[in-house]
Amino acid sequence: MSFSVKDIPTKPYEGQKPGTSGLRKRVKVFQQEHYTENFVQAIFDSIDAKDQTIVIGGDGRYFSPEAVQIILKIGSANGVKRFIIGKDGILSTPAASNIIRKYKAYGGILLTASHNPGGPNNDFGIKYNVSNGGPAPEGVTDKIYEKTKTISSYKVLEAPEVDLSTIGETKYGPSEVAIIDSVADYTILLEEIFDFPLIKEFLESHKDDFPILFDGLNGVTGPYARAIFVDTFGLPESSIQNCVPLPDFGGGHPDPNLTYAHTLVEKVEADNIPFGAASDGDGDRNMIYGKGAFVTPSDSVAIIAHWADVIPYFKKGGVKGLARSMPTSKAIDLVAQKKGLEYFEVPTGWKFFGNLMDAGRLSICGEESFGTGSDHIREKDGLWAVVAWLNIIAAANKKSPNKLVGINDILNEFYSIYGRSFFSRYDYEEVPSDGANALVKNLNDALASGSLNETKHTAGKDNFVVSSIYNFEYKDPIDHSISKNQGQVITFSDGSRVVFRLSGTGSQGATVRMYVERYLPPSASPEELARPAAEGLQSLIDVALEISKLKAYLGVDKPTVIT
């Protein structure tokens, strides 16, 4: 049978450069004539997907159904043999990573702008992932960008639209299309990793004194959470909220932090819920938050590493190594040292973990930006982290039959063994780029001249002496590539640390992030160790602001978000 493939003439659009997480723009930008088509053709021009399988799915945000049909038309015309698509075009980012790996696909196209708001006036995104299930490396994204600059036509298959709502196999011109259940493979994956019977038994027997709440923030994780918490663990409907994916996320900002996940925070507080959690629009971020208990992501990953033995996946396969991004607190390093494991400090961005995982040197890793995960896939994984916490709590309670162990007990026990790395991040969003660059230059000048070295700074009753200042640089141990200028780090003689970094994901002006970390050894009193982070860090924050002259450079008094 012959199929009609048409060449459509087009002209390049400027600015189709994919960032770490693909091409992210306003929906209105993607809706311009040929804009999405150009970018999709540039992807197929940069990879060799002829006769191969490509996965398509996303967080279901506004413009997703249209984008899936465009990818089908162009992909098929470019020779793709088989498409695997989540029903209704839905696949969380971790689920898509799993599908690519499980079905040995050549790659996948993920339609998401992660935690950015959605809807006709907000963001859309297209991200390409390679065969290991992880985001395309820079070599590939650079190639895609180059192609977008010279594109003069794209190919389309002339065929009616595919019905994305019916699970099953169909023919599509010369290609096959499999519409799959978006959730089933992911649920199987988590079931293989965690001790589901133990978690289920614990949650069932503590229905009354340990109710849980998961908030999907109207993002993609809703159906996954329902399958796991309601259908598998048998929890009541009240244990999930905002779990129907909406194209505009209900008008909210689907980012699991204390500011944006306020629906979770309010309900946990009002109903005294001991364990709550939320995930972002595409399901790769997570926040663990119970009544009176917030788990900072830096502690979360360290605690999961500490308790790895109660998780069947790690008990069976062992823990090969641990890692964190540079601004993330050093809590996980202490776990690695105690367990005699190799550990790594990489620049911000999940892509830096992939090589280490593929080389069999990394099992558990995380970032302060609410990303936690392991080598079960090549993306961070929100629900994985939530179920990991439930597995840990269930195991801890099995060891302690007479006293209910909750989030704070797990935290306090961890601090009593390793000490505590108090950690906080101040975000100064959408500040003038000139001011942000001047702030960085001032730190670089101090680095070059040594003018800050050994200087003493006092705030309240605390003194801090600067011991070093450096610009973080990373050499990938596997491919030896070098990433420079990854943030300015100031260390103090008591082991405290302040990091300044410009965000790589903002869309307007510049965003400056200031990360502060102060370590208290396990010998400190339990009261000191259990203090609210803001209190434990106040003097260091004052010193960081003074040294950097941040307020003067940025012309602002307060951060926009504190986590």
Q: Where on the chain is the footprint of ligand G6P (CB under 6 A)? A: 20-21, 114, 348-350, 367, 369, 371, 503-505, 513
Residue-level length of the chain:
563
Q: Could you tell which of ligand G6P, Zn ion, none binds residue 282, using a CB distance below 5 to 8 A set by kind?
A: Zn ion
**Per-residue interface string for the shown chain with Zn ion, residues 83-122, x marking contact by CB under 5 A:** -------------------------------x--------
CB of 368 to ligand G6P, least distance (A): 8
114 in active site: yes
**Is 49 or 499 the residue whose CB approaches ligand G6P more closely?**
499
List 37, 255, 284, 379, residue binding Zn ion (CB under 5 A): 284
Nearer Cβ to ligand G6P (97/114) = 114
**Local structure of residue 231 (DSSP, 8 states):** I
CB 324 within 8 Å of CB 298: yes
Q: Which partner in ligand G6P, Zn ion, none is near 20 (CB below 5 to 8 A by kind)?
A: ligand G6P
Place of tokens 């109660």: 310
| Gap between the Cα atoms of 100 and 312, Å rounded | 23
Taking CB within 5 to 8 Å according to partner kind, which of ligand G6P, Zn ion, none is near residue 518?
Answer: none
Residues with Cβ < 8 Å from 438, sequence gap 6 or more? 553
Minimum distance from residue 535 beta carbon to Zn ion (Å): 31
What is the distance between the alpha carbons of residues 231 and 227, in angstroms, rounded to a whole number?
5
Q: Which is nearer to ligand G6P, 313 or 353 (CB)?
A: 353
CA separation, residue 102 to residues 53, 119, 189, 225, 370 (Å):
12, 32, 10, 21, 26
Nearer to ligand G6P, 45 or 367 (CB): 367
Rounded Cα–Cα distance for residues 156 and 423 (Å): 51
Under 8 Å CB-to-CB from 301, ≥6 apart: which residues? 324, 328, 331, 332, 364, 365, 366, 372
Q: Which residue lies nearer to ligand G6P by CB, 256 or 406?
A: 256
Query: Least distance in Å: CB of 280 to Zn ion?
Result: 4
Closest CB 362 distance from ligand G6P, rounded Å: 15
Q: Which of 76, 114, 363, 548 is catalytic?
A: 114
Report residue 490: phi and psi, to 5°. Answer: -115, 125
**Of the ranges 210-218, 281-289, 297-305, 516-524, which one interacts with Zn ion (CB under 5 A)?**
281-289
Candidates 342, 312, 349, 345; CA nearest to 329 is 345
Distance of closest approach, residue 226 Cβ to ligand G6P, in angstroms = 25
Are 247 and 219 in contact by the 8 Å Cβ rule? The answer is no
Q: What's the CA gap between 118 and 375, in Å, rounded?
A: 29
CA distance 258 to 278: 10
Query: Please, which residue, 92 or 397, has the CB nearer to Zn ion?
Result: 92
Minimum gap (Å) between residue 453 Cβ and ligand G6P: 28
CA distance linking residue 279 with residue 34, whole number of Å: 33
**Nearer to ligand G6P among residue 22 and residue 245 (C-beta):** 22
280 touches Zn ion (CB under 5 A): yes
* Span from 36-44, 221-229, 280-288, 347-355 in contact with Zn ion (CB under 5 A): 280-288
**Closest by alpha carbon to 295, among 261, 252, 248?**
261
In whole angstroms, the minimum distance from the beta carbon of 141 to ligand G6P comes to 14
The reply to whether 427 sits near Zn ion by the rule CB under 5 A is no
Rule CB under 5 A: which residues touch Zn ion? Answer: 114, 280, 282, 284
Catalytically active residues, by annotation: 114
